[in-house]
Chain A
């Protein structure tokens, strides 16, 4: 694995390896000294062309727990938005000898360009690009789902996948990089993905995706869902005729208190996930967000572990000829 750009390219073995490594990292987070020397003396640049305090905090925590030197480059409002090219930025990072770049960008594909255009030769870690991919979010969701499955089966998470789980992803699939990255990763791990959304918020071409599609949330809820993931509805969608009003959206596609109560009547457990930040009262009701079923805070913790795992796997390694004497 040279870069982490998308979950679509991950093999089953790679995905399991990342999750197992993340479990290891989670244990470090419970120690008194929450720090490993693995990336000591190495420089990671967090290149954020798009604001995201949460994701940047999570990456920064992960990098610091691995003892990396962290440089934050918030490109919004800098020379980048004034027309400096992606190439110039990449070459600047190469010139300061960055060892890895974590990149967040509002343009789909920007991390892939950074990785492949030949301007800089270091691992590139996609921290979310446009409406394309958000691989570490999908990995932390998979880690959470694996923990949820482990709670139910009583078996340890290590080496396990998500085979047989039915995961509904509800909301603005069209504009969601989280939905896309989850689609590929959950399929690789053996889960079934169910998208629930109004047709206006589903992409043309979805018929070629490995998923089920429901326009009606209530019908989907009757199909034995192991997890329901609500996607954030962005403010700008509300005025672009994707749906008539926030109220109608919430009524038809929100996890309302009534729908949430239905989960209690099932004879199986259903986890509630949300990538955050939540619009309480819109896509998710407060009662659902704050319930025991909610994995929202555990998702945040898992985010740090998953990012540590990916950084560790991308930034260590090399040729096997080097010494390995016991």
Chain B
């Protein structure tokens, strides 16, 4: 690291708990204290800003290789940096699928040369996400990408015997299977949450039970083979109750929720605007309430954005023909502040836990999600909780304009992001990538 990467953050509120200065040198936190001085350092005024460890997204779709019209590692990781992230886990449903060491190393390299965040590839559980036979899990784990999270996300590992084998096999590498819980037969042609609104709109329902049945099965499988299992994007009240029960029972399960499932409901579908089409679908208000409570009481461990950019033409069609997914990286923190912090359900320290520490732990990203302490890697985000901004998808770094919050006013703005002491975002704007 050069001299230019010496920063003195003045007057930030660490986790919203205590105000202090932070001196960053050589990619690490060199000093924390009051009235620090350094004549070499670039001073970053942080009055009124909250300092959090750099965010870690356990669930991102960067679309590369194969769907560069939707997103690239470059554009997706810029969006991540602007959202306060220092690391993202890139899901395996690229084209070709990330089911070999070759593809995961390619994604890793793309992330390194982009240099905005640490891109950690997720490996597919099964070859081609087809749910038929295990992919080369060991080769991916032992590759330069050191894959620890395996997921067929987008598809469910529905075959119970295969799921059992996957849960057992990844233990070799201290890995985890991240399950996209969706019983396929119960969700054939499903278009939205099954309930009052789907009945009225005449859209085929995606019943809560299709998610809950798989989660129930998988926590029992994890218990049986003594493995850990991660559940992607919980979306229903029932799922929360099953995970809560499993944790009480001592099962090694972690659970994730997306920002959009904490704020949007199936009422949005009344517009038939496919920007609200996502999988799992937007659920009912009572599900939203249950998910918020579950984050507050620790049943849900992490926020995963499920950032899923799509080219415009994939959404400018009839609802039934539109692609699933919405973008999320650049406003995840704002939505969490709005739904959980500003409502008094959690503290900024909790935000650090659910958006940085725990996701890093689950993904075994050992140099991420670390506490703000002297000697730790200087992965830091500074956020202004008093700022208000209006979401404009056209002004974002992600290629995907499929943003469900268009024109919504949200609180909170990322002012700066430091990746190992290098400012990727300064003054709320992209700075420079880190050189690797």
Q: Please indicate whether A and B come from the same complex rather than being unrelated chains.
A: yes
B202-A133 in contact (CB<8A): yes
- B residues less than 8 Å from A133 (CB atoms): 202
- Cβ-defined partner of B316 (8 Å) among A86, A105, A110, A130: A86
Q: State the CA gap A85–B203 with chains docked (Å).
A: 20
B198-A109 in contact (CB<8A): no
Q: CB of B159 within 8 A of chain A?
A: no
- A residues less than 8 Å from B319 (CB atoms): 107-110, 113
- Cβ-defined partner of B318 (8 Å) among A8, A107, A180, A209: A107
* Total chain B interface residues with beta-carbon distance under 8 A: 24
- Cβ-defined partner of B272 (8 Å) among A106, A109, A177: A109
Contact A85-B195, Cβ < 8 Å, known A108-B203, A180-B202, A204-B205: no
Q: State the CA gap A109–B198 with chains docked (Å).
A: 11
B316-A208 in contact (CB<8A): no
A204-B316 in contact (CB<8A): no
- A residues less than 8 Å from B207 (CB atoms): 204
Q: Which residues of A131-145 have CB atoms within 8 Å of chain B's CB atoms?
A: 131-133
Q: State the CA gap A208–B207 with chains docked (Å).
A: 17
Q: In whole Å, how far is A323's beta carbon from the nearest beta carbon of chain B?
A: 39
A180-B200 in contact (CB<8A): yes
Q: Which residues of B161-219 have CB atoms within 8 Å of chain A's CB atoms?
A: 191, 194-205, 207
A108-B195 in contact (CB<8A): no
Q: Which residues of A105-124 have CB atoms within 8 Å of chain B's CB atoms?
A: 105-110, 112-113, 116-117
- A residues less than 8 Å from B200 (CB atoms): 8, 180, 205, 209
Q: In whole Å, how far is A94's beta carbon from the nearest beta carbon of chain B?
A: 15
A109-B199 in contact (CB<8A): no
- Cβ-defined partner of A109 (8 Å) among B195, B316, B318: B318
A85-B313 in contact (CB<8A): yes
Contact A87-B198, Cβ < 8 Å, known A108-B272, A109-B203, A203-B205: no
- Cβ-defined partner of B198 (8 Å) among A106, A110, A205: A205
Q: CB of B320 within 8 A of chain A?
A: yes
Contact A177-B202, Cβ < 8 Å, known A86-B316, A113-B319: yes
- Cβ-defined partner of A205 (8 Å) among B191, B199, B320: B199
Over the window 311-327 of chain B, the binary record of Cβ atoms lying under 8 Å from chain A Cβ atoms (1 yes, 0 no) is: 00100111111000000
Q: In whole Å, how far is A209's beta carbon from the nearest beta carbon of chain B?
A: 7
B318-A86 in contact (CB<8A): yes
A204-B195 in contact (CB<8A): yes
Q: CB of A206 within 8 A of chain B?
A: yes
- Cβ-defined partner of B199 (8 Å) among A113, A129, A130, A203: A203
A206-B199 in contact (CB<8A): yes
Q: Which residues of A149-206 have CB atoms within 8 Å of chain B's CB atoms?
A: 177, 180, 203-206
- A residues less than 8 Å from B271 (CB atoms): 112, 116
Contact A110-B195, Cβ < 8 Å, known A85-B313, A131-B202, A132-B202: no
- A residues less than 8 Å from B203 (CB atoms): 108-109, 130-132
Q: State the CA gap A116–B274 with chains docked (Å).
A: 12
Q: State the CA gap A85–B194 with chains docked (Å).
A: 27
B196-A108 in contact (CB<8A): no
Q: State the CA gap A276–B125 with chains docked (Å).
A: 50
The residue among A108, A110, A132, A208 with the most chain B CB atoms within 10 A of its own CB is A108
Q: Which residues of A80-109 have CB atoms within 8 Å of chain B's CB atoms?
A: 85-87, 105-109
Q: CB of B68 within 8 A of chain A?
A: no
Q: CB of B350 within 8 A of chain A?
A: no
Q: CB of B223 within 8 A of chain A?
A: no
A132-B194 in contact (CB<8A): no
- A residues less than 8 Å from B194 (CB atoms): 204-205
Q: CB of B31 within 8 A of chain A?
A: no
The residue among A109, A132, A180 with the most chain B CB atoms within 10 A of its own CB is A109
Q: State the CA gap A204–B197 with chains docked (Å).
A: 10
The residue among A85, A110, A116 with the most chain B CB atoms within 10 A of its own CB is A85
- B residues less than 8 Å from A86 (CB atoms): 316-318
- The chain A residue sitting closest to B203, CB to CB, is A108
Q: CB of B376 within 8 A of chain A?
A: no
Q: In whole Å, how far is A128's beta carbon from the nearest beta carbon of chain B?
A: 11
- B residues less than 8 Å from A107 (CB atoms): 318-321
A85-B317 in contact (CB<8A): yes
B201-A109 in contact (CB<8A): yes
- A residues less than 8 Å from B199 (CB atoms): 203-206, 208-209
Chain A interfacial positions (CB closer than 8 Å to B): 8, 85-87, 105-110, 112-113, 116-117, 129-133, 177, 180, 203-206, 208-209
Extra A-B contacts (16), CB below 8 Å, given A86-B317, A116-B273, A180-B202: A8-B200, A85-B316, A107-B320, A107-B321, A108-B201, A108-B272, A108-B319, A113-B272, A129-B202, A130-B203, A132-B203, A203-B199, A203-B205, A204-B194, A205-B194, A205-B198
Residue contacts A-B, CB under 8 angstroms, 11 given? A8-B200, A85-B316, A85-B317, A87-B316, A108-B320, A110-B319, A112-B272, A116-B271, A177-B202, A204-B205, A205-B194
Top 6 A-B pairs ranked by shortest CB distance? A109-B272, A205-B199, A132-B202, A131-B202, A107-B318, A203-B199
